[in-house]
Amino acid sequence: MKNLLTMLMLGIVATFASSAMANEYAFTPYAPGAEAGSVFNHVAPLEPTPAVAGPVVAAPLFHNVKYKDQDEMHPCAQPKVIMVNDPCWDKCHDRCNPCACRPKVAIQICVPPCACEEVKCKKDGDRLTYDYGKYEVDVRVKDGYIEVDYQD
């Protein structure tokens, strides 16, 4: 019983000690114009913290994209960035490894605001169809460029 009480007391002391240390490093917002000696004047600037899943790297958009029938896109369409096969990649690029993964490039398409899409993939990813019911977006990887065709 004495050991149990000793362990309980040690646990309580450890909890208070850790909370006191946590309060020492607690975040206090910066207040511009705070008077001298104020708690706001000795706060260290915050440094960015890395994301749990790793940093998000924004890929630059591919430059050679041809858009067709833009008058047929949804009237409230929102931009969406998708990854498609690189049209400038030579199929004979890696003769030693014919099964090498084809690199991807980012392009921007405009889609309806609803999230009810069905994506159809044909020709090893060289032809994609984003189906939104009444509206569709066809993406075709051609030789050296990408063609985006809107359908209503």
Reported as type and span, the H/E element at residue 54 is none
* Total count of residues recorded for the chain: 152
Q: pLDDT (tens digit, 9 = 90+) per residue, 95-144?
A: 566 566 788 999 999 999 987 889 999 988 899 999 998 999 999 999 88
State the pLDDT at residue 29: 47
Q: pLDDT (tens digit, 9 = 90+) per residue, 46-78?
A: 454 444 444 555 668 998 999 999 999 899 999
Query: What are the distances in angstroms from CA 81 to CA 100, 106, 109, 134?
Result: 24, 6, 6, 21
State the pLDDT at residue 121: 92
**pTM for the complete prediction?**
0.57
Query: What are the distances in angstroms from CA 151 to CA 65, 69, 110, 126?
Result: 17, 7, 12, 18
> Is residue 149's pLDDT more than 60?
yes
Q: Cβ(139)–Cβ(146) under 8 Å?
A: yes
The number of angstroms, rounded, from the C-alpha of 76 to the middle of its chain's C-alpha atoms is 23
Compare 33 and 40 and report the one with higher pLDDT. 33
